[in-house]
Each structure stands twice: as C-alpha cells, then as structure tokens.
Structure 1
Amino acid sequence: MEKRWVATIHLDTLEVEYDPSFKFKCVENCGRCCRELEIPLRDEDVVAMEELGYSAWEFVDYEKMFYRGDRFLGYAIKKRPFDDACVFLDPETRRCRIYERRPLACRLYPFVFVKRGNLMEVYVKVDSFCPGIDHPGGEPVTGEFLLREYGDIVEDYRRKVVNDSK
C-alpha cells in the first residue's frame, strides 16, 4: 500500500501540522471505493447495521477474513455478484444506503490514522481509482477538517493518551 503523510495531530494540544499541497474532496456519487475495496467490518460496525434492521447474513461475507499478523480482525462486507459493489451501494444513485452508520473503514477511507505516543499521524492511501485525492476543488487536511470529519476518533485516541499518562 502506497501512503503519503498529510497531517500530524498532537493529541495533548490538538495542534495540527499538515501538508498544504494535499487536498481532498469526496466526489459525490462516485462510489468507486465501494466497488474497488474489500471493507473490513468490526463488531461495532455489524451491531450498528443490525440496529438498522439488517441481518448480518445479508451483509457479512463470512468467507473473506482480515488478519493483522496472526490476529483475526473481522470479516468483509458482502459484494453484489452482478457488479462487485458493496451491498449497501444503491446501483442507481451510487449513494450509500447506510451512510450515517457506515463501517469505520468506509468512513476513514482514503485516510489511515497511525498513533505514535501522543501523536496521531494521518496518511492518505494513494489509490489511482480515487478521484478525490489531490482534487483541485478539495480542501487541505487541516485541524478544522480533521476535527469536523473525525473529531470523535481523535477524541477517543486523545482519551487513551491521557489515561495512559496517568
């Protein structure tokens, strides 16, 4: 996986250093990531989708598994057989039917967050199929961008840093 550094968040102060040359914009109705990627599901993702009334058998692909080393991380989200897209991608509008409760991997894409002590490094996964990467109409990955889009995730990591330092 090719990745590029775009920002660093200091979890103790929320100060953000970022690459002003990088811009991102999720292109509406694109859906390419919903077709191109295999999406891992965490237990929390499965619960959130079941709370919407879906059965796990409708959306969990129990034949595709994700591991980090020898540690099992979870199963993949199912793809439709006729176009190899996520089962939640509406084929007509190319919009996610569960957008507000979509899996964390979908929410983060194309960004990768790596915690190193009291720093959170943010990288972009450089995928040639994603038209939003370095999009001319995009916005830089500033502190404002990160807190607006991922504030809850940053706060979770921030709490862990504070608790670990006690």
Structure 2
Amino acid sequence: MEKELIAIVNMKTGEIDVVKDNFKFKCIEDCARCCIENDIPLREEDVERIKALGYEEEYFVDYTKMFYRGPKFLGYAIKKRPFDDACVFLDPETKKCRIYEYRPLACKLYPFILIKHGDTLEIYIKKDSNCPGIDHPDGDPIEIIIERYFGEVLKGGEYGVRRIRSENSSYPLKRLENII
C-alpha cells in the first residue's frame, strides 16, 4: 500500500516538523470501512486489555492470520464475523465499536503509520481509497491529530513528544501538555 510522509518527530528534542501542511484527516462517524476492509493486528497488550473486559481470547483472536515484520512474529489478527467479514466488535446495526475505548493500537492509529529510525519518528498516511477521512475538507491538521490520536503512543519514554514546529503552518511551536 502506498504511503505519504506527513511529519517527522525528533525524539531527542520532541519537535515535530510538519512535512505536509495542507493535510487534514477526519474519522467519519458510522463509516466503519476500516473495521470491515482491514485485517487488524493484535499486540499482546491489546489481547490482555480486551480479555480484562471479560472477553475470551477465542472470541476475538484469529489464530489463522499472523503478522510478521521480517522474521519477527508480531501477533495474530482480530477475528472477523463470517456473515459480513467485519470485526467481531463492530455493532452491525449502529456501526460503532463495542470496545472503542479499549480497541487495539492498530485501530487507534489507522490510517497512520509510525516508523521509528534511531532518534526520529516518521508519521505517514496510508493512501487508502477505503478511508473517506483522508484529506477531508472538514478534517483536522496534523498538529491536532497528533494530540488526539497518538497520545498512547507518544506518552513518556522514547515517544516523549513535547513540541510542534512547522515552517508554513498557522499553528505555532507549542507544548503538547496533554500528551506528556
């Protein structure tokens, strides 16, 4: 799948250089295309968080689909329903996630891809025709998206992002107090 670089984070200074200033994103309510079209990888942390809600692993883990990065096993996929091929947690009537607050990290990040190279973190957008929220005119700029969607990933430790910098952005360099 094609991807486009949106921003680069300096992990030492916490500064974010916005590469594509005119980029916007808005998750469209009741769309749920990503819950139907995509296979979602589960990290061990995701499995444990969902099990803590009272779900049995066999209900939501698809042991026949595995994700790898090179030779490294990353995890299994979330199960899909046989009657519509949607995620088992997608309510078929409301098209809302039944575990939204506890959903897997891959769901929280979609359609973004975060790639760490040494002291930099690159933020890409998947050029996915299934996602109507990419470059949506009512969408949020990357500065707001980072605050809203990447909090879990960027909090503390190696992802301690603190500031945003953009040469052409109308958003000045600022601290992201609610992330760190």
1:107-143 per-residue CA deviation (whole Å, 9 max, x = no partner) reads: 110000011222111000111010000101001111x
Aligned partner of 1:154 in structure 2 is 154
Alignment gaps of 5+ in structure 2: 161-180
Q: Which has the higher helix share?
A: 1
How far off is 1:76 after superposition? 0.6
1:10-43 per-residue CA deviation (whole Å, 9 max, x = no partner) reads: 2222221111111100001110000000001111
Which letter maps to 2:150?
Y
Aligned partner of 1:109 in structure 2 is 110
**Structure 2 Cα separation of the partners of residues 105 and 145 of structure 1:** 15
Moved more, 48-57 or 14-23: 14-23
- Alignment length (residue pairs): 158
Identity of aligned residues (%): 58
| Contact 1:66–1:75, Cα closer than 8 Å, also in 2 | yes
**Structure 2 Cα separation of the partners of residues 138 and 117 of structure 1:** 31
How far off is 1:2 after superposition? 0.4
Shift in alpha-carbon separation, 1:26–1:106, aligned structure 2, 3 A: same
How far off is 1:70 after superposition? 2.0
Aligned partner of 2:28 in structure 1 is 27
1:42-77 per-residue CA deviation (whole Å, 9 max, x = no partner) reads: 111000000000000000011111112222111110
| Contact 1:9–1:121, Cα closer than 8 Å, also in 2 | yes
What root-mean-square deviation, in Å, do the aligned CA atoms of Structure 1 and Structure 2 show?
1.3
> TM-score normalized by structure 2?
0.84
Aligned partner of 2:121 in structure 1 is 120
Alignment gaps of 5+ in structure 1: 160-166
| Contact 1:147–1:154, Cα closer than 8 Å, also in 2 | no
> TM-score normalized by structure 1?
0.90
**Structure 2 Cα separation of the partners of residues 95 and 64 of structure 1:** 24
Aligned partner of 2:41 in structure 1 is 40
Which portions of structure 1, spanning 4 or more consecutive aligned residues, are displaced by more than 4 angstroms?
none
Q: Is the partner of 2:25 in helix, strand or coil?
A: coil
Aligned partner of 1:81 in structure 2 is 82
Aligned partner of 2:2 in structure 1 is 2
Q: Note the 1:43-82 alignment, pairs <5 A.
A: 43-82=44-83
